[in-house]
Every structure is written in structure tokens, then in C-alpha cells.
Amino acid sequence: MLNDYQLMFCSMIRNPLLLLIALMTFTGCKNNNIDIKGKLTSSIKGEYIYLDELQSSRLVTVDSSAISQEGAFSFSLKAGSPAFYLLKTDESNFLTMLLEPGEKVEITAYYDSLSFPISISGSKGTQLMAGYNKKLQETINKLTGLREIYLESVGTPGLPVVMERLDSIAGVYLEEINSFTKKYIDENLTSLVSLTALYQQVAPGEYVLNPQKDMEYFIRVDSSLYRLWPHYEPVKTLHEQVRNLVSDVTAQNIINSEFRSGTEAPDIELPDPEGNTIKLSSTRGNFVLLDFWAAWCKPCRIENPNLVKAYDLYHHKGFTIYQVSLDRTKEAWLAGIRDDNLEKWIHVSDLKYWKSQVIPVYNLEMIPANFLLDREGRIIASNLRGESLLKKLNEIFD
């Protein structure tokens, strides 16, 4: 489960200040100059470009440069250690830079698109981040295109077929950026850029790497960076997250050992929002995802769109969802259902939080948690999320 600190590591394009705060380093290095020379195309003579430095926990403008008629600008500053900077024309047009003493940086970029420079030389850290951003944005653009096709198909008879096709294509794109990110991490394990790669997103809440599925890479980055910077706060936070992940997997292995594939799922009998008691066993005859969640659980809310997608794709083939909430109030529960568009399937809860009667029955240690049941109510898989759930349903129905 990601805490708020790890959630700061979203796309370098979208949250520059938070990223810079999270990544500031204090590595000792002797004083030296950092020289930056740049050329902007389609610029306006007399406009200014600014250089902000992360100092403590805030960005401070350390210099500005008038842009010449030819689009040229330059900066020269003293630095005692590596630091993160923001090269910007305004708050929405910027380039994140990792600069080190002694570097002589040259940049060419479009005036209105600093985030995607034409060329960078002289700063390895900046080059790495810009290169990753470019690849990530390419993937985001492709996925956006698929979404536009989906929206155009809403309301048409061929929507289910279109959705299946788009889902297949999206899976290829996501696998590509996942593999690219893993290679990027492997090639930069001794650099803090590997830490940022763990938390990149292709959409709000949709991470390139999954902490459970891709735990190996979280452990790998932690092992490398914690050895180099054990007292650096973001590295310490990652180290704690990895410890929690390993602990969660151990707990889940205990659950899985008690609920092996083929075991009949214990029945649940709880009220729905209207007060009608609905048994889990009443869903037999369908493949059922028994899902445990709560409106207050951020990872659960992040996963809910994947459940909607799975339901829309496979409900007509005999798939449904029986979702059990661990909320404390009916108002919060109903708001979560409404806000995440979950009205399509069965919802039940005794509104007793972690004292719910289902906790000891299913040995729940954390949420989200789920079990996939066959038509006879037997467990055939557990804790399927995102693409893993869709892949399993595809195996069953297609």
C-alpha cells in the first residue's frame, strides 16, 4: 500500500515541485561552476527565462536571463553539491534538471515546450529524466487515443467488441512502458532517477510499476540506494515501504495457504444499501469476484476503475462482483459507490470497519483483497488486480 509520501512520485511532467522536494540530494562535492547555455526556437526577444533551485523544501529563483533575438540564453552559477533545478518560462512550461558541479550544459528547445527539449548535452541526470519523460508521454498519448476511440463507440452495438480490441492494444502499450521502465531502472540503479521511475503513472492512479507484481524492482532499487544513501529521506521512505511490502506478502501467503484453489469460499450474509440481506452463495452460477474494499482506502479507489472495466467486458458472459465494504458510515460507503460508478453490481456491508464479521472468516489483514470464485463458489484465484484480473477473465471466457 502506497502512503502519501510515495504518491508524490507521480509523473515528472505533472508535479515538478513535489518531485523536486522528494529528490533533493545532499551529496558532498567541492565547489565548482555550473554553466548553462540554451537556444529556444520560436521565442520572443525580451522575454525572460528563469532558473529555480530547490532549497530545503521550496523552489527559489536563483537567476534569470533575457532571451536574445536569436533565442539564446545563459546561466552561470556556483554549486557545492548536486541539486535539482527548474528551467522555466512560467509555472506551466518547465524542464526538470539534475545538475552537478562542473557540468557545462547545452540545451535546445521549443520556447513553449521546455519539458520535451530538442537536445540536451552535458548533464547526465537531466538527459535521463528527459528521455524517460519522452517515452512516458508517448505511451500516454497512445492510451489517450484509445480512450477517444472508446468514447466514439459508446452507445453503438459494437461496443463490447471494440472494448476487447482496445483492451488488447492497451495491454501491449502498458507492457512496453513497463519493460522500458524496468530496463531504465536496471541501467541506473546507482542513480536517484531509479527511485522516480518506481512511481510513474500513465494516468492518475494507474502506475507503470505495481508494488506487488513488480516487487522485485522495488527491492532492487531499495537495496542499491539504501546502501549509498541510508540517511536520505526518500530512500529511507522507500526502504520502509519495501519492508511493509514484504510483510504484506508474507501475510497474504498465509491467507492463500488457508484458501487454496478449489476451496469453497465461506458464505457471507450481509445487508445491501437498501437493507436487504444478500448471500454470497446467491451468486452461484456466475464467476464472481469477491472484493473487499472501503471508501477511505485509497488503493481500493485506485483499483475500482479496473473492476468497472472487467465488469463491463465480461458481465454479459456470466461474470459479476460481490463487493464487501469495511466502511464505518453508510454515507461514506454510498458516496464511494456513487463517485466510482460502482452501482452495477452487489454491495454489502455491516459498517463495522475492521470489526466486520468477514474479517476473521477470510483472515483479512489488508485491503484491497479479493477472491475469484467459479460457478460453484470455489476459489480459483486471489488478489487479482488491474491487468492480472482481465487476463484471468480472458482465460476463462475467451
Condensed to tens digits (0 to 9), the pLDDT of residues 206-257 reads 889 988 778 889 988 898 988 887 876 677 778 888 887 776 655 555 445 5
Residue 376 pLDDT: 94
C-alpha cell at 257: 495457504
Asked if the model's pLDDT at residue 129 lies above 70, the reply is yes
Of 113-117, 186-190, 195-199, minimum mean pLDDT range: 195-199
At 4, is the pLDDT very low, low, confident or very high (cuts 50, 70, 90)?
Answer: very low
What span, in angstroms and rounded, lies between the C-alpha atoms of 14 and 22? 14
366/95: higher pLDDT:
95
How does the average pLDDT of the chain come out, rounded? 85
Output the CA–CA distances (angstroms, integers) from residue 244 to 249, 253, 359, in the order listed: 9, 14, 20
Distance in angstroms (rounded) separating the CA atoms of residues 292 and 281: 16
CB 256 within 8 A of CB 379: no
- 122 Cβ contact partners less than 8 Å away, ≥ 6 residues apart: 103, 104, 105, 106
Give me the count of residues in the chain.
398
Looking at residues 122-131, what average pLDDT do you find?
A: 91
Buried b (16+ CB within 10 A) or exposed e, 219-245: ebbbebbbeebeebebbebbbebbeeb
Domains of the chain with CATH codes? 4-121 (2.60.40), 130-256 (no CATH), 269-397 (3.40.30.10)
10 vs 89, 152, 195, CA distance in Å?
22, 29, 11
Can you give the pTM of this predicted structure? 0.54
Question: What pLDDT, on a 0 to 100 scale, did the predictor assign at position 59?
Answer: 85
The contacts of residue 108 (CB under 8 Å, 6+ apart) are: 38, 39, 40, 41, 117, 118, 119
* Cα 114 from chain centroid (whole Å): 24
Question: Beta-strand (E) ranges in 11-160?
Answer: 32-41, 48-55, 58-66, 72-79, 83-90, 93-99, 104-110, 119-121
Q: What is the pLDDT of residue 284?
A: 95
Q: Comparing 169 with 4, which gets the higher pLDDT?
A: 169
Lowest mean pLDDT among 4-18, 132-146, 271-285, 288-302: 4-18
Read off φ and ψ for residue 40, nearest 5 degrees: -110, 130
Confidence of residue 10 (pLDDT cuts 50, 70, 90): very low
| pLDDT given for residue 12 in this prediction | 45
- HEC sequence for 256-306: HHHCCCCCECCCCEEECCCCCEEEHHHHCCCEEEEEEECCCCHHHHHHHHH
19-33, 113-127, 250-264: the lowest-pLDDT one = 19-33
First to last CA, the chain: 32
pLDDT of 13 strictly over 50: no
pLDDT > 50? residue 276: yes
- The C-alpha cell at 68 is 536574445
Phi, psi of 295 (to 5 degrees): -65, -25
Cross-strand pairs, 65:
49
- pLDDT above 90 (res 84): no
The yes-or-no verdict on residue 390 having pLDDT over 70 is yes
> What is the per-residue pLDDT for 21?
53
More confident of the two residues 248 and 330: 330
pLDDT band at 351 (very low <50, low <70, confident <90, very high): very high
Residue with cell string 537536445:
119
